[in-house]
Chains A and B, each alone.
Chain A
Amino acid sequence: MSRLRANWRLALVGSILAVQLLTVAHARTVDTRYLAWAPYDQISFYEIEVDIDGRTLDADEVVVRYRLGLWVEDDIAHGRENRAIAHVHSYVRRAEADTNDIVVTVSSSTNGGPVEVWTWSP
């Protein structure tokens, strides 16, 4: 019985480690870096603007809508992402997948580089 328990524990340990190898390998094929042990790899500062039904949301509405730890500066919703700006893109895409007539614009600068604009409109 104790042998069985020990084997079960070893199988679980093996699975935990194997899953990490898979997620690390998977991160090489996508832009996101979840579960990839990527600390402070790409630091991005970004702004989000949202238009719904032809109306532009004010910055406070954007902060409440996305809850990504955004802050308001100069009436614009700002954010910081420490691993990959693709995390913000993928979240916005997910959050607005079922929203009609919406345009989300994320303007970001990664590692102090030039501003890149990403737009989402389902």
Chain B
Amino acid sequence: MVTLTPPVETDDLPAGPLLAARLVVLFPLWPGFLGLARPNPDVAAFAWLDWTEQVPGIVWLIGAALYLGCAVALWLAIMPRAAAAVAGSIILVGPLVDLGAYANNRILAGLVLVLLGLYEPRTHLWPLRIQLSVMYGAAALNKVFDPDWRDGTFIEHWTDDLLDLRIHGAVRDLWSGIDRLVGWSAFVIEATLAVLFLLPGRIRWAVAAALAFHGGMLVFTEGEISWLFAYVVGATLVAFSLPRSIWPPVAALLTLRVAELVIS
């Protein structure tokens, strides 16, 4: 058995975080999202970013090319931390300079890559755990303070008027309280996830619960919401799912460092 956790001075990532970064960096390759890595400044989210409209298009094309270079570097394990940090930063630019591209899945993907790029063995994956805790905690907070979530109005409108969910609609016909139950369940689950990710020794519970939550959401919405977010979260959770000590051939395969293994 070998330990893939690198010493402090190397520019390296353990197998789990590296695989997670590799999967997250593929996020813009989802169908219909090929342009995601190329920010297209239009209406900036904040007034102090209005100047980005004046940035020549070639700069954004260079950014996209740089992103692809980082993705290749990550998959070839060439300076993986730096590649992850740069790729994540490029993804984060998109939602900030283009209101139409503002999406939590992009922001999460960007932040995960940046945090993995800043990986530090001393803190291992705690920054990522705190990140996920903040995300779920904030999502729960937003919902619990919204009366439309508390009384089921949002869920009723969303599932009936917008998504036209047949199964949920059939249940509502039998019991009108289902919308309120789903709303409350969402923020109870999110609040629980926020806590679980911070509990030492409970990371596998947190991973299992998060996967169940996002998988359950896909089932509940009959495949409508949200494949992209589930992909980013699932890819991120891979970071926690591999042990730090892995059988060498598997480790070599995961990190694409077969030549390095043979030499050693």
Residues of chain A at the chain B interface (Cβ within 8 Å): 2-3, 6, 9-10, 12-13, 16-17, 20-21, 24, 27-28, 33-43, 66-69, 87, 91, 94-95, 110-113
B256 at the interface (CB under 8 A from A): no
Chain B 141-158 interface mask (CB, 8 Å, partner A; 1/0):
111011011000110111
B131 at the interface (CB under 8 A from A): yes
Q: Could you say which residues of chain A place their CB within 8 Å of the CB of B45?
A: 34
Check if B162 sits within 8 Å of A43, measured CB to CB. yes
Taking CB as reference atom, which chain B residue is nearest A88?
B99
Residues of chain B at the chain A interface (Cβ within 8 Å): 8-9, 42-43, 45-47, 99-100, 102, 104, 107, 111, 114-115, 118, 120, 122-123, 127, 130-131, 134-139, 141-143, 145-146, 148-149, 153-154, 156-158, 161-162, 225-226, 229
Check if A13 sits within 8 Å of B142, measured CB to CB. no
Q: Could you say which residues of chain A place their CB within 8 Å of the CB of B42?
A: 67
Check if A43 sits within 8 Å of B157, measured CB to CB. yes
Taking CB as reference atom, which chain A residue is nearest B153?
A111
**Known contacts A27-B142, A68-B100, A111 near B107 by CB under 8 Å:** no
Q: Could you say which residues of chain B place their CB within 8 Å of the CB of A111?
A: 148, 153-154, 157-158
Check if B145 sits within 8 Å of A28, measured CB to CB. yes
Q: Could you say which residues of chain A place their CB within 8 Å of the CB of B8?
A: 2-3, 6
**Known contacts A10-B120, A69-B100, A113-B153, A39 near B43 by CB under 8 Å:** no
* CA A61 to CA B47, docked complex, whole Å: 22
Check if A6 sits within 8 Å of B120, measured CB to CB. yes
